[in-house]
A = this chain, B = another copy of it.
Amino acid sequence: MTTDASRSEPASSPVGDSLRKEIFELFFVLFGKLRDHYAGTAAAFGLTPQQAKTIRLVGDPRSMREIADVLQCDASYVTGIADKLEDSGLIERRPSPADRRVKQLALTPKGRRLRAALEEKLFSAVPGLEGMSGEQREVLYGALRAMFDAC
């Protein structure tokens, strides 16, 4: 793939024969497609991406603090997400028996059904993976794991 941004690079760039740039660019392009798939699927259920992520996270009940940590956002932002999901009847706030400051978010039956449908729709067809063989996916997965382990 020759990207637009590389058009004026000399062929013998210092980083030209390491595939760093090529992998980097491809990663951004592919991620864009996965992100659009994620956002579109969430929207089909009336959810923003972060709300969908929260629904997926609370398959097992979690404190709002934990959710903020996983979402990498401020705790105050989780309040808004929880408000919306609770208003929609998808989750409920439960007091924690161990610590009365803590609220656990847990799925309602309606939320559980939505979560299952969401995950089914999210993972029944993933852009880019449908045209790949099982073996190709294994190779891709292994390569991504190697990259993750090298981080």
Chain B residues contacting A137 (CB-CB under 8 Å) are: 18-20, 23
Q: How far is the CA of A86 from the CA of B146 in the complex (A)?
A: 42
Q: Residue A75 at the B interface, CB < 8 A?
A: no
B residues in contact with A23, CB < 8 Å: 126, 129, 137, 140-141, 144
Q: What mask results when residues 102 to 121 of chain A are scored 1 for a CB within 8 Å of chain B, else 0?
A: 00000000000000000110
Say which residue of B24, B56, B144, B150 sits within 8 Å of A34 (CB atoms): B24
Query: Which residues of A come within 8 Å of B, CB atoms?
Result: 1, 4-5, 7-9, 14-15, 18-24, 26-31, 33-34, 53, 56-57, 59-60, 70, 119-120, 122-124, 126-132, 134, 136-151
**Partner among B28, B29, B124 whose Cβ is within 8 Å of the Cβ of A15:** B124
**Do A136 and B143 have beta carbons less than 8 Å apart?**
yes
Give the chain B neighbours of A57 by CB distance below 8 A.
4-5
Q: A20, A34, A56, A136 — which one has the most chain B CB atoms within 10 A of its CB?
A: A20
Is B120's CB under 8 angstroms from A14's CB? yes
Contacts of A148 in B (CB 8 A): 1, 26, 29-30, 128
Contact B140 A146 (CB under 8 A): yes
9 tightest A-B CB contacts, nearest first? A131-B150, A8-B59, A140-B143, A128-B147, A15-B123, A5-B56, A31-B31, A26-B144, A19-B137
